[in-house]
Amino acid sequence: MKIAPSLLSCDFSKMGEEIVRMDNAGADWMHLDVMDGHFVPNITFGAPVIKTVRKYTDKPFDVHLMISDPLKYADDFADAGADIITFHVECDSDIDKTINKIRSRGVKPGLVIKPNTPASAVFPYLDKIDLVLVMTVEPGFGGQSFMADMLPKVKEIKDECNRRGIEMLIEADGGIGEATIEQAANAGIDVCVAGTAVFKAENAKEAIAKLQSY
Ligand code: DX5
Ligand code: ZN
């Protein structure tokens, strides 16, 4: 299992150092949660902040946009150094245009589904994206409880991709830690985001290695 620590749980006053700490602890990707206070009831950071911390690691930057109009800002996040940009299928932007914009900038596009959104919402776009991110909590905050009832969506997406001969990465985000990762692994998830479980661990390296072993 690949592990992407969510910087949402880091000390924002030293984000660069926190990225170095996660890099040294063996993180596969860095997960950056962008919230606009409109799509979700919380505000975090935007492209300028991501740009300033980009130099602290060579690991892929997995930018999760919880914003209403990702099309408007896609260029900014590409310029900031995102390797993957995921945005919500529930957003207000034109989905096809947003995928094309991200792709045109040499960045991998992915779609995210909230807990109340069915897996089928991403089916029309599966041949145009590299990744589907299944939320296992309501987006907006770290430290919430894992929703195991989201896991059947993973099988639905994988079955549809297999049926159509599409290669797809499946990522899960929210409430993942030692107690829940086995279920996520059994469901066939490729990449798990982990905020609290990694940043609040006494030893981040051990915590990441444990999660990666599934
Ligand atoms: C929630 C974010 C997640 C979150 C994960 O809106 O997308 O990335 O920070 O944090 P934990 O692992 O603490 O649930
Ligand atoms: Zn996230």
- The residue-averaged pLDDT of 59-68 equals 98
Q: Is the pTM for the entire model greater than 0.85?
A: yes
Pocket test for ligand 1, best of 22, 29, 33, 90 (most atoms within 8 A of CB): 33
**Residue ranges of the domains in the chain?**
2-212
- Alpha carbon distance 150, 139 (integer Å): 13
**116-129: pLDDT as tens digits:** 999 999 999 999 99
Residues with a beta carbon under 5 angstroms from ion ligand 2: 33, 64, 173
The CATH number corresponding to 2-212 among 3.40.605.10, 3.20.20.70, 3.30.230.10, 3.40.50.300 equals: 3.20.20.70
Ligand 1 centre distance from Cα of residue 115 (Å): 13
**165-214: pLDDT as tens digits:** 999 999 999 999 999 999 999 999 999 999 999 999 999 999 999 999 99
**74-112: pLDDT as tens digits:** 999 999 999 999 999 999 999 999 999 999 999 999 999
CB atoms within 10 A of CB 118: 10
Residue 173: active-site member:
yes
Residue 94: active-site member:
no
- Alpha carbon distance 79, 101 (integer Å): 12
Query: Tokens 């995210």, residue?
Result: 112
